[in-house]
Amino acid sequence: PQHRPWLLSLPSRGARWPGRGHFANSPAKEPSPMKIKALAVQDTAFLHIKNVDGELLHESTPQGDQPVGITLYGPGTKIYANALAAKQARLVERMRKRDKQGVPTATEAEDDAADNVQLLVEVTAGFQHIEYDAPDGTPLAGAALYKAVYSSQPLGFIAEQATRFLSSWANFKPASATN
């Protein structure tokens, strides 16, 4: 072997330099486990609706401008899970019928849209500053109001925003302690 004075003698694999190393001079410390419940999402979250131009909607009230929006139950709730399971059950039933008939039904797209509306209705906890009248002019409330708004083709941007909002768990993250 050729002598190479410039080559340092390195410690063997697994050995450490004396007094060096990540925790060489500190006492052994047990890592504390993460309190994972701190990451749990909230049951509901507020969706501030935007118009078709992407501007947040507000209603002028005596208390000032108020956000127009929807409070939705999130993917971490039983309400959401049950609504999703019901939607999937309806889809499976339609697929069984289609398989028996051998051809897709003419109303398949309408059925899918109705299922999406029903899911949104079931996971809506409430509307804020949204009104919609029945054809006879009487104001709608509760599930009837939600269904009318989500079913309206000219207001389709609202159902689209709600569907997108529900698809992200991050929208239901807990409020920070500094807020």
Express each pLDDT in 41-75 by its tens digit.
999 999 999 999 999 999 999 999 999 999 999 99
pLDDT for the residue numbered 167: 96
Q: Is residue 168's pLDDT more than 70?
A: yes
Would you say 137 and 75 are in contact if contact means Cβ atoms under 8 Å apart? no
Determine the pLDDT at residue 179: 46
Give the number of C-alpha atoms closer than 13 A to the C-alpha of residue 80, restricted to the C-beta side: 18
Q: Are the CB atoms for 96 and 105 separated by under 8 Å?
A: no
Q: What is the pLDDT of residues 77-101, one digit of tens each?
A: 999 999 999 999 999 988 888 788 7
Length of the chain measured in residues? 179
Residue 174 — pLDDT band, cuts 50, 70, 90?
confident
**What would the pLDDT profile of 119-165 be if each residue is shown by its tens digit?**
999 999 999 999 999 999 999 999 999 999 999 999 999 999 999 99
pLDDT for residue 85: 97
